[in-house]
Chain A
Amino acid sequence: MELNEWAFIGAFFMLSWIFPAAPVIINKLIAPNRPTPIKRETYECGVETVGDTWVQFKVQYYLLALVFLVFDVEMVLLFPWAVAYNELGMFAFLAGGVFILLLLEGLVYAWRKGALEWT
């Protein structure tokens, strides 16, 4: 039964955090712990840290995430198409082709507008 397979994933989830957590905790127990203010400073190549880390980022990253999101949704919609493809006719190829080419048009637009440039 399907749910039984997922019960395995659930069990794996419950277990999987132990593998990385155990060495980290053992490390905390057996390693020396002598923090000093200098040691706990932020490491930026020996130069003292200036200003806030959590600064404003370029709009470029946001655009990239957006283009990715669009493609992600597209690919997710293509999965059922791909799975059923063997049982479908030529019309399915046309439907998928139109779907993909419409999106490619968006990519061409992003390309022309320079949203894909990384400067």
Chain B
Amino acid sequence: MTELLTDAGLSKDFATFLTHLITAGAVATVFLLVPIFTIWLERKVSARMQDRLGPNRVGPYGLLQTIADVLKLMTKEAITPANADKVVFFIAPILMVMSVVLIVAVIPYGENFAPTDLSIGVLYVIAISSLGTIAILMAGWGSNNKYALLGAFRVMAQLVSYEVPMVLALLVPVMLAGTMRMNGIIEAQDSIWFIFVVPVSALIFFVSATAEVGRQPFDLLEAESEIVAGFNIEYGGMQFAMLYLGEWLHAVLICVITAILFLGGWDGPGAKDALLTLPIIDLELPVLGIFYLAAKSFLIYFLHMWVRFTVPRLRIDHLMGFNWKFLVPVGVFNLLVVAFAWKIMPEPDSSSLGDELPRALVVLASNVLFVMLIFFVIRDYARRERAKVEALVDETVYAAASAGD
């Protein structure tokens, strides 16, 4: 593509820059259109799970429902409250979408097919996501509304807390692959996916990622019944849609990231060879790789939806307790367990399945033992708690009985 532009008479630097701009525009546009589909999907799946019909009026199977919604929001008056901090209020939704869209830059679709393959790939994703928290805080502050600010602070507390176990879980694939490069992590899973080697990390990542994008059962950012909608209460029209879009796109992207970290990303049978050469711009599109990545991401997205429509919302103190008293210690010890198990076995001679298997099995066994230990500790704790409560009940009943005499 760059050659095409230099042939047209542009300088090499400018041609590269232009190529970058076009690539960025293309991938961002594709990903920004994905939520239009996933919002419909989510409404339809939730309806089926709850024995309803879901959207079925606009277009076949209601497929155009989201587009109708967008058009409606487009014609709605954008109200800025009189007391709002206007500049901050205006910037917040834009920053929110930016913080999510920029993640797209490092997602690979094939062996040599990624918009860019940064050497700090996964760290870049985490760093960029942390800009989203600032956007939420700006939205809450800028609205000059008590509910909005309260909601924003609760969101901050949640996002900031769940980032810790998420990164702790993410350190495990980085450690096993020995690189932070997205494609490096995928190549390391060539023979065996990390989810079969370190399932505990995958589970921790899944749970904390659910919280990080603020979906049920961790949807305290919304909490309609408690703080009427949280930080986005004063927003209307397209600005509201942008806050919403940021959230939904983040939900999609976190599934893609999970697929890359634990399910081997674009890798699959024949993915490296199935290339479709596009004419004119001379681009080799890894069709099968894109399909595998989309399929794996969708699988995880479906799991997210399943959890979402099954589990009720957590209370905030339970939410924080679950993170700091359970996920963080488990994440820390999990990292140590995996690091130890990974080291006691010798480095395999090649990266074929047969050679990799013994070490993978040892790590998997360590994971199983670790889970058993966790269950043991929890059971012990639960027993003590129950004994305490039962003693209390006995005492009260006994006291009441003796008072009745």
A59 contacts the other chain (CB 8 A) = no
A40 touches B82 (CB 8 A): yes
Encoded as 1 (CB less than 8 Å from any A CB) or 0, chain B from 220 to 264 comes to 000000001000011001110110011000000000000000000
CB contacts (< 8 Å) of B149 on chain A: these are 53-54
B44-52, B162-170, B281-289, B367-375: which one contacts chain A?
B162-170
B93 touches A83 (CB 8 A): no
**Contact A19-B97, Cβ < 8 Å, known A40-B81, A93-B340:** yes
Q: Can you offer 5 A-B residue contacts whose CB atoms are under 8 A?
A: A41-B81, A49-B146, A72-B164, A79-B180, A82-B174
**Contact A116-B118, Cβ < 8 Å, known A8-B105, A15-B24:** no
A27 touches B237 (CB 8 A): yes
CB contacts (< 8 Å) of A42 on chain B: these are 81-83, 143-145, 234
Interface size class of A (residues with CB under 8 A): 35 or more
CB contacts (< 8 Å) of A68 on chain B: these are 160-161, 163-164
**Bound-complex Cα distance A85 to B335 (A):** 12
B117 contacts the other chain (CB 8 A) = yes
- Main SS of chain A's interface residues? helix
In the complex, residue of chain A having the shortest beta-carbon distance to the beta carbon of B99: A16
A53 to chain B, nearest CB (A): 5
Instruction: Give the 7 A-B residue pairs with the shortest CB-CB distance, closest first.
Output: A27-B238, A20-B97, A11-B20, A118-B317, A82-B175, A86-B178, A40-B82
CB contacts (< 8 Å) of A83 on chain B: these are 174-175, 178-180
**Which of A8, A44, A104, A119: most chain B CB closer than 10 A?**
A8
B242 touches A20 (CB 8 A): yes
A40 touches B79 (CB 8 A): yes
A26 touches B28 (CB 8 A): no
CB contacts (< 8 Å) of A10 on chain B: these are 20
A118 touches B77 (CB 8 A): no
Q: Tell me the total A-B contact number using a CB cutoff of 8 A.
A: 211
B253 to chain A, nearest CB (A): 13
A43 touches B118 (CB 8 A): no
CB contacts (< 8 Å) of B117 on chain A: these are 5
B191 contacts the other chain (CB 8 A) = no
A31 touches B237 (CB 8 A): yes
B32 touches A19 (CB 8 A): yes
In the complex, residue of chain A having the shortest beta-carbon distance to the beta carbon of B178: A86
**Bound-complex Cα distance A84 to B339 (A):** 12
A105 to chain B, nearest CB (A): 11
Other A-B contacts than A11-B21, A118-B320, 17 sampled, CB-CB below 8 A, are: A5-B117, A15-B24, A19-B32, A23-B74, A24-B78, A31-B237, A41-B81, A57-B153, A71-B164, A75-B171, A100-B332, A101-B336, A103-B332, A104-B332, A107-B328, A116-B324, A117-B317
**Bound-complex Cα distance A86 to B338 (A):** 12
CB contacts (< 8 Å) of B179 on chain A: these are 83
B119 contacts the other chain (CB 8 A) = yes
CB contacts (< 8 Å) of A53 on chain B: these are 83, 144-146, 149
